Structure 1
Amino acid sequence: MTTTPTQTTRAPARVATALIVWFLGSALGAGVLLAVQPMIGLDPELFVLVMLAPAVGAAAAWPLIRGREPWATPSVSSQRLATSLLVALAVVVAYFVVVSVARGSAPTVPSQVGGAPVAVFILLQALGALTEEIGFRGVLLHGLQRWLSRPVSAIVTGVLFGLWHVQYYGLPLLQLAAFILGAVVLTLTMAYVMTGSFWQRMATCTLIHLGANLALAFVGDDKVQMTTFAAAILAGGLVAALFAYARRH
């Protein structure tokens, strides 16, 4: 289909509008979900409702996003998607190895978390990872690539994703900086591992995100410094880079 000059002129404005709608929808959703959490008595250790907010913003912006550039990306074969998921799994293994070494023992998987079976906890964490990925690595990262290169878009998205986690603002400055660095490297890793359509990319990103969360959860947040977390994320990024190098050569 031929793109007319009018369509080309309107595209940046549409993308900017979509990102603004996403941000406002996410912020409003976060406020509502933070208020709802104590009302329903949901243990934050089990699931934090605010993780759903980025997807709320994405739903609000969806009419501006669906099937349109820069979010419309072609699907890849199941084999290529499987390769992407295998690399993501290798990245997750690196997270667990580094955290385990830093702790001095293997992560411990509890039978229950927040009064619920650990299987329920993992499913809820997967849901939360998916909804955050839809917003940040789905809507925001791809939208920024309308103006910025992929690495710069990933860095900006990573910083904003780190700042989204306001619960860490009380950390010492070095620990907070380490967490934001980890969020940036996490996003860079995802940007170069994910491939295919919107939902194929979300599958890869969700696996990496879930792995990072579980690597922390199964050793206890109070036992893992954010500097250790950042080291684990850097190790995962190195694993992804080595796989990419191997594929090229």
Structure 2
Amino acid sequence: MDGRTSRGRVALFLVLAFAIDWVCWVWAGSQTGWSVAEGSGPWPVVLPLTMFGPLVAALVVRVVPGADVPRGWRPRVRGNVRWYVVALLAPSVLTLLGALVYFALVSGSFDSAATAYAQAAKAQLGAHGSRVPMLMVAQFAFAMLVAPFLNMLFAIGEEAGWRGFLYPALRGWLPRPAAMLATGAIWGLWHAPLIAMGYNYGTSYPGFPMVGILAMMLFCMGFGALLCLLRDATQSV
């Protein structure tokens, strides 16, 4: 597909990917007071299902007469085990590094006793104070070793669209770094209606919602670049 995908097909993909999910999100928001209440209303169903919007868009573009078959939609574990290990561990490592940088810059916000976490664990799970450290370790291990495989069932809906179709299509017109950043920026902008309804960052920060949308775009550009590198290394999303 690289270098042969027409601008018309990319435009069709973007229109479909944005329209499918934005319509769903606006409808869900109208049912919950324009707030992403993840545990109420239609959101528990809408959020995971709309992750497949980019996949649906890519499939539609694929069946348009004359379209070539997208590459990278099949796992390619053989010969790429090390890259799959990187993909499994890198998000957690980057999260820890980000936390270290944050607390180094905003040292006053660090709480070695994890008071807020302990209170939440006690309120939600009835955890005794002495069990909180073990609970933290268990949740961290779950997040690193189990959650990625559960989330993969839904994340493939996004990855098949953004890294499986859009990124290699943009590689046909743009240098590799520019294609990575452009894919990430578009991916971040796709989240705009959710951010405008308080998803990820809430609604009380200065510059709401534009600052939140920009922050999401910057995050997706950075994290998306890592995903693009892994996609190039494995030839698979």
TM-score by length of 2: 0.58
Q: Is the 8 A contact 2:183 2:224 kept in 1?
A: yes
**Distance in 2 between the 1:135 and 1:122 partners?**
19
Alignment equivalent of 2:181, drawn from 145, 155, 164: 155
**Distance in 1 between the 2:97 and 2:46 partners?**
24
Matching residue of 1:63? 63
Q: Is the 8 A contact 1:52 1:132 kept in 2?
A: yes
Q: Give the unaligned 5+ runs of structure 2.
A: 33-39, 104-109, 126-141, 197-202
DSSP-derived class of the 2:71 partner = coil
**Distance in 1 between the 2:220 and 2:190 partners?**
10
Alignment equivalent of 2:223, drawn from 166, 183, 186: 186
Alignment equivalent of 2:152, drawn from 114, 120, 126: 126
How many Å apart are 1:76 and its aligned residue? Answer: 8.9
How many Å apart are 1:127 and its aligned residue? Answer: 3.2
Alignment equivalent of 1:168, drawn from 185, 195, 203: 195
How many Å apart are 1:138 and its aligned residue? Answer: 1.4
Matching residue of 2:88? 89
How many Å apart are 1:142 and its aligned residue? Answer: 0.9
1:146 pairs with 2:172 = yes
- The one-letter code matched in structure 2 to 1:146 is G
Q: Give the unaligned 5+ runs of structure 1.
A: 1-10, 113-117, 203-249
**Distance in 1 between the 2:14 and 2:94 partners?**
30
User: What is the alpha-carbon root mean square deviation over aligned residues?
Assistant: 4.2
Higher helix proportion (structure 1 or 2)? 1
Bigger relative contact order, structure 1 or 2, given CA contacts below 8 A and separation 6+? 2
Matching residue of 1:4? none
Identity, % of aligned positions = 20
Q: Is the 8 A contact 2:62 2:68 kept in 1?
A: no
- The one-letter code matched in structure 1 to 2:220 is A
**Distance in 2 between the 1:76 and 1:48 partners?**
22
Q: Is the 8 A contact 1:33 1:53 kept in 2?
A: no
Which structure's CA Rg is the greater one? 2
Which aligned pairs between 1:17-56 and structure 2 lie closer than 5 A?
17-34=8-25, 35=27, 41-44=41-44, 47-56=47-56
Matching residue of 1:227? none
1:136 pairs with 2:162 = yes
Which aligned pairs between 1:217-228 and structure 2 lie closer than 5 A?
none
Number of matched residues? 182
Distance 1:98 1:143, change over 3 A: same
- The one-letter code matched in structure 2 to 1:161 is W
Q: Is the 8 A contact 2:55 2:158 kept in 1?
A: yes
TM-score by length of 1: 0.56
Distance 1:52 1:77, change over 3 A: closer
Distance 1:99 1:72, change over 3 A: closer
Q: Is the 8 A contact 2:73 2:160 kept in 1?
A: no
How many Å apart are 1:152 and its aligned residue? Answer: 0.5
